[in-house]
Each structure stands twice: as structure tokens, then as C-alpha cells.
Amino acid sequence: MPGTVQNASPFLEAEDIWVEFNGKPAVKGISMRVDRGEVVAIIGPSGSGKSTFLRCINHLQAPTSGTVKIDGISVREGKGGHPKSKELTQLRRRVGMVFQQFNLFPNLTAVENIMLAQVQALGRTKKDARGRALALLDRVGLEHRANHYPGECSGGQQQRIAIARALALDPMVLLFDEPTSALDPELGAEVLGVMKEMASEGMTMIVVTHEMSFAEDVADRVAFIADGAIVEQGNPKEVLRKPQHSRTQRFLKAVLER
């Protein structure tokens, strides 16, 4: 039940995230709050830092400064600047991630890909894990591919398997890093269909994407990032149709002319 309590303390909160590569800032103080069940689309030119920011949320990229808090859990720095591994693991189990290049494990079949973390990270029995994996494959329409290796599946199928893999840990939030950029439009549509369905079921999602129609139709909010900072954000229709900033206008014009 959405209520005032959650508004006071957001479900996911990234505060003042900075990332530097060799002294050059790539992300310059981005803050973002996401409520339970909200779908946020992040758009922006390539190299703007949007993927880097997304990777900070589950600490695949350690921020130079700033904190990420998810449902009350945050990662503090331990000895030697490395994050405390216990907190890190806790955080990552709450956050699922889907990558641009799928990153399925080619040495494991589809069902084994989905079982691995359930068994090794959550300690489920193999039988439970398999049952759950098959149910998830069914949900993304790929039960018949269960015993195939990723190399034997199309790109769209691989990405759907990757989504099922991310869902297997019952994450509280799913991160998508340009999930359709490596796919041609037809296969991308399969993946977007699955994502849309998950959004309608109330999954909290943060999606870095170039798919403006997905941002407009599915997202609750669109954030435009350029040069490592959020330029503007808000209702998708407003940001995409009537952008306030000239930077946003230029970007959208370039995208539409393509």
C-alpha cells in the first residue's frame, strides 16, 4: 500500500553520486529518489554518464563519493577503501541487473544460468531453484529453451533469459542498462514487451534507454542526463514533448531526426 510513510523515506535513494575516472568526473553529483513500483527511464547522449550512474546503484561501479540506500540498506566503505562485502552482497541481492550485452554465462544452459545465483547466493536447493527457473522462463515465454546454451538462442531470447535470471533473486528493483541497444528492432520489441509486462505488475525499474517510445509509454518519470548531471526530469510526456532546457531540446531533436 503506497502511503505517506514511504514518501517520507523513499524506497531507493541515491545521494550526491560522484564518479571520477583518472581525475576526470564522469558523474557530477547526481541524486535520485525512486518510490516502490515506480518506473524511471534515464535518457541522454552516449558518454553522458547515465550508465555509470546506473552501475553505481548496485556498486558495480564504486562511486568516488555519495551514498546509495535501498530499503534502508547502504554500503559503507570498509578497510582500504573497499566496500564492506557483507553489505555489498546484501545490497546486490536486492537489486537485479540486465546488461546491454546480456552477459549470460555461455558455459551454462538457460536454466542453469537462472539457477546459479539462487543456489550459490541464496542457498536455495537445486530442486527449488530449477522449479523457479522454469517458471520464470515460462513467464518470459522461453520454457522450451530451458536446456539450450545461450549461443544457441537469438539475441532477443538471450536478453529475455537474462531478465528471468535477474528476477530469480526476487529483487526489489531492476536496473536495465540499454537492454535493447544490442538488438535489432524486431528482437528489441520482444524484450520491451516483457519489460512492459513487468512494469504493469508493479516492479520497480530504472531503465537507461534510447527507446523514446518506451520511455513515454511505460515510464512514470523520465530523467535526462547530460555531462554527468540530471538536466531535467519529470512526467514523460512533459519532458519528451515540451522540454524546458535547450540541452534537452537539442538531444531530442537529434534523436527524432535520426
Cα–Cα distances (Å) from 34 to 27, 69, 104, 198, in that order, read 18, 11, 28, 17
DSSP 8-state class, residue 77: B
- Enumerate residues 113-152 that contact other proteins by CB under 8 A: 116-117, 120-122, 149, 151-152
**94: Cβ–Cβ under 8 A, 6 or more apart, which residues?**
70, 71, 73, 171, 172, 173
Which is closer to other proteins, CB of 34 or CB of 239? 34
Query: What is residue 116's three-state secondary structure?
Result: helix
Which is closer to other proteins, CB of 109 or CB of 248? 109
**Cα angle 70-131-172, degrees, rounded to a multiple of 5:** 10
Strand partners, 12: 34, 70
Min dist CB 119 to other proteins, Å, is 9
Min dist CB 49 to other proteins, Å, is 18
- Of 198, 226, 209, 188, give the one whose Cα is nearest residue 30: 226
Which is closer to other proteins, CB of 6 or CB of 147? 147
Window 47-76: contact mask with other proteins (x via CB under 8 A) = -----------x-x----------------
Q: How far apart are CA 13 and CA 15, in angstroms?
A: 6
Window 81-100: contact mask with other proteins (x via CB under 8 A) = -x------x--xx-xxx-x-
According to CB under 8 A, which one of 56, 70, 169, 230 is a site residue for other proteins? 169
- Enumerate residues 11-30 that contact other proteins by CB under 8 A: none
Cell 552516449, residue?
Answer: 46
Which is closer to other proteins, CB of 115 or CB of 239? 115
Cell 515510464, residue?
Answer: 219
Binding site for other proteins (CB under 8 A): 58, 60, 82, 89, 92-93, 95-97, 99, 101, 103-108, 116-117, 120-122, 149, 151-152, 162, 165-166, 169
